[in-house]
Amino acid sequence: MSGEPKPSADVPRLNRTVKPTATPPVRIVHLGLGAFHRSHQAWYTQHAGDAAEWGIASFTGRRPDAATVLAEQDGLFTVVERSGAGDSFEVIGSIVEAVDGADVGRLAELVAAPETAIITLTITEAAYAADLSVAVQDSTPLARLVAALAARRTAAAGPIAVVSCDNLAENGTVARHAIGAIALAVDPGLAAWIDANVSFVSTSVDRITPRTTTADLALVASACGYRDDAAVVTEPFHNWILSGDFPAGRPRWEDAGAVFVDDLEPYENRKLWLLNGAHSILAYAGQIRGHSTVAEALSDDVCRDAVEAFWDEAAQHLSGDALGIPAYRDALVERFGNSRIAHHLTQIAMDGTTKLRMRALPVLAAERAAGRSGDGAARMIAAWTAYLSSTADFHDPLAADIREAKTLDGEPRTAALLALLSPELANDPALVAQIHRLQDSLAATISHA
């Protein structure tokens, strides 16, 4: 949240007394209590037909703030659904406990409880790639989870599902490998227990949820008559596609529109490439062209053309009429164009090294394998290198390496940045030249704009 909410002495604080709401028992533990968790998994759980049986205990990541605010409101918060036509407001009660992520004791206690059936994760793409030694020593979310799973093993509380809700291809498998590696380093017996008892569910998640602003909180206070410091603003659209087993049961999320499939890959690629890929193009090309939100960037023909060219390439590798790519693209243009949602490009630009590996590289590789240039995907990478050259104010898990690469100039700089995405890219001089040229052409377009 940006800034402090305006004090509204005349309206009460939202809580379960102001808004009497059922308090379901904790059966889901979540790691990563952010705005997206509130507008997505918490929203879906509230809208499941059996919502009365499924409460969420949600843990924050690095900082306790979101848990403090939510705990003061008995876990209640407002989802503001913002369409082009107006706003609608709904109080969500599925989060029944909000906890500081550093409280590993409470995490272990809840994960070890036999009633707990599911652990959901929104810990950011970068968190899965953390170096093993760092993970174990620094108590990263996944290291904390491994410790909690050890408590479940000791309690003989039975099998459980871990459900990744981060924007990664095959996120369940990635979670399994990351958790398995940490467990193995701690205790091989635990790793074997996890192997036999933890089901890793892969999911594709979608709901555009920008950071809440002070103005949003003021709007909720005046429209709803209570002060809610944990409100989230999101688009009406929501999507959740899941693949995997829930050995201890799950809410009827399908009542809220969730879809359970055997083969997630086509859906996750559609979402990661078309939505998230376009987002990254808009974030980097848009900012160097002076835009600050998705809707603004999309209305710039240079950015829009770059998105469409990338979509044309990605669509070649998204087969099957069931995916409905033309309609999906149309819907994206409408969603991105919803200018009542101010989705800031700075937020999307964060962690580019992790995101582009998922969003640009697979399409680039597939296009090149088909004997084509892959310029559309390469332009996303070129926009990223141009953006990094244009600013000192970027956020990335590899920030130190990026700063090091930026001590170089010209093609060597481009090559050094590409090496951070994949050494293979950097070792291909033709590709380095291609991306460098696209970056120059992007920059030239900008200076003439």
Pattern 110-149, ligand CS2, x by CB under 6 A: ----------------------------------------
Which value, in Å, is the radius of gyration of the alpha carbons in the chain?
22
Pairwise CA distance, residues 9 & 12, whole Å: 8
Per CB under 6 A, 27 contacts ligand CS2: no
Instruction: List phi, psi (to 5°) of 6.
Output: -65, 135
- 324 sits in the region (left: phi over 0; alpha: psi -120 to 50; else beta) called left
- Alpha helices per DSSP H over 7-84: 35-39, 41-46, 65-72
Stretch of 18-26, 60-68, 203-211, 390-398 lying at the interface with ligand CS2 (CB under 6 A):
203-211
Q: From the CB of 272, what's the least distance to ligand CS2, in Å?
A: 8
The residue type found at 11 is: V
Per CB under 6 A, 348 contacts ligand CS2: yes
Stretch of 56-64, 106-114, 201-209, 411-419 lying at the interface with ligand CS2 (CB under 6 A):
201-209
Stretch of 55-63, 130-138, 142-150, 347-355 lying at the interface with ligand CS2 (CB under 6 A):
347-355
Stretch of 8-16, 200-208, 326-334, 435-443 lying at the interface with ligand CS2 (CB under 6 A):
200-208
What 3-state DSSP class applies to 101?
coil
* Among 207, 289, 291, 436, interactor with ligand CS2 by CB under 6 A: 207
Structure tokens at 331: 């819907």
Per CB under 6 A, 285 contacts ligand CS2: no
Per CB under 6 A, 279 contacts ligand CS2: yes
Site for ligand CS2 in 323-342 (CB under 6 A): none
Total chain residues near ligand CS2 (CB under 6 A): 10
Reported as type and span, the H/E element at residue 240 is strand 239-243
Between 160 and 294, name the residue whose CB sits nearer to ligand CS2.
Answer: 294
Strands (E), 74-187: 77-82, 87-92, 95-99, 118-121, 160-164
- CB neighbourhood size of 9 (10 A): 5
Instruction: List phi, psi (to 5°) of 101.
Output: -60, -25
Per CB under 6 A, 276 contacts ligand CS2: yes
Q: From the CB of 305, what's the least distance to ligand CS2, in Å?
A: 20
* Among 167, 204, 287, 293, interactor with ligand CS2 by CB under 6 A: 167
Which residues have a Cβ under 8 Å from the Cβ of 345 and sit 6 or more positions away?
Answer: 282, 283, 286, 287, 291, 292, 293, 294, 297
Pairwise CA distance, residues 253 & 247, whole Å: 16
Per CB under 6 A, 347 contacts ligand CS2: yes
Between 227 and 335, name the residue whose CB sits nearer to ligand CS2.
Answer: 335
List residues binding ligand CS2 (CB under 6 A). 167, 206-208, 275-276, 279, 347-348, 355
